[in-house]
Amino acid sequence: MPLVLATQSPGEPEIFASLQGEGPSAGMPVAFLRLSRCNLACTWCDTAYTWHFEGDNRPHRSGETFERKVNQVTLEVAEVAGRILALGQKRLVITGGEPLLQAGALAELLELLPDHEVEIETNGTVAAPVRLDIRVDQYNVSPKLAHSGNEAELALIPERLDGYATDPRAFFKFVIAEPSDVEEVLALHRRYRFRPGHVYLMPEGTDSATLREREEWLAPLCLEHGFRMSDRLHIHLYGDTRGT
């Protein structure tokens, strides 16, 4: 079964080694696998090349659409596994897009990588089937708030959030653009009773200056409400670039 990947340059799949930039594993050396396609459409998405293809009328603040042919590549699972092994990392981060849309092929992939620790980054709208779930060590769940532009009935599915909230492997990372966004996080926290220490607030931004500016008011809010704060280390190190 093949996987549909994003590209870091035309024809070159986005499989690379780097430091994890966000969430509970920030700073860890990892292999990254970025898959294509998403079931949501965040207006500020910094990987819109994984879903905002020509003919897709869902809004994105850049107004840019991407040619599918040069931004997607299909590879057999065995080839993807070989490329990941060649990177020599012990931990694998699977991201997107929404990677759980390709859960069947991902399960096949992880069966070929039994010695890897695995993180999956998900928007929290899709549940992993058992064959995949048993091979996942950590879920980085990023439910989308109202400022993402997604309708709540699509982005915040109670059954899915209940499932992740009761899973000790799941950490929640909320993208924050304005101080008022934290009120929405607090409401979700009351509803789903996320585990202590498992909620991160992360500033929205794709350049260091914006991140630092927002962290100035986000840090006191984290202190006030007992949430952890996530930076975006890769932005400071490499900028808003693919394959980093």
Percent of the chain whose pLDDT exceeds 90? 99
pLDDT of residue 1: 84
pTM value? 0.97
Find the radius of gyration of the CA atoms of the chain: 17
What domains can be seen in the chain, in order of their start residue?
A: 2-238 (3.20.20.70)
What's the mean pLDDT in 48-62? 95
Instruction: List beta partners, residue 33.
Output: 15, 94
Q: What is the mean pLDDT of residues 182-201?
A: 98
C-beta neighbour count of 232 within 10 angstroms:
24
What is the pLDDT averaged over residues 142-164? 98
* Mean of pLDDT values over 142-169: 98
* SS3 per-residue string spanning the chain: CEEEEEEEECCEECEEEEECCCHHHCCCEEEEEEECCCCCCCCCCCCHHHCCECCCCCCCCCCCCECHHHHEEEEEHHHHHHHHHHHCCCEEEEECCCHHHHHHHHHHHHHCCCCCEEEEEECCCCCCCHHHHCCCCEEEECCCCHHHCCCHHHHCCHHHHHHHHCCCCEEEEEEECCCCHHHHHHHHHHHHCCCCCCEEEEECCCCHHHHHHHHHHHHHHHHHHCCEECCCHHHHHHCCCCCC
Q: Quickly state the pLDDT bin for 56 (edges 50, 70, 90).
A: very high
Specify the pLDDT at position 227: 98
Residues 49-69, mean pLDDT to the nearest whole number? 95
Q: What is the pLDDT of residue 177?
A: 98
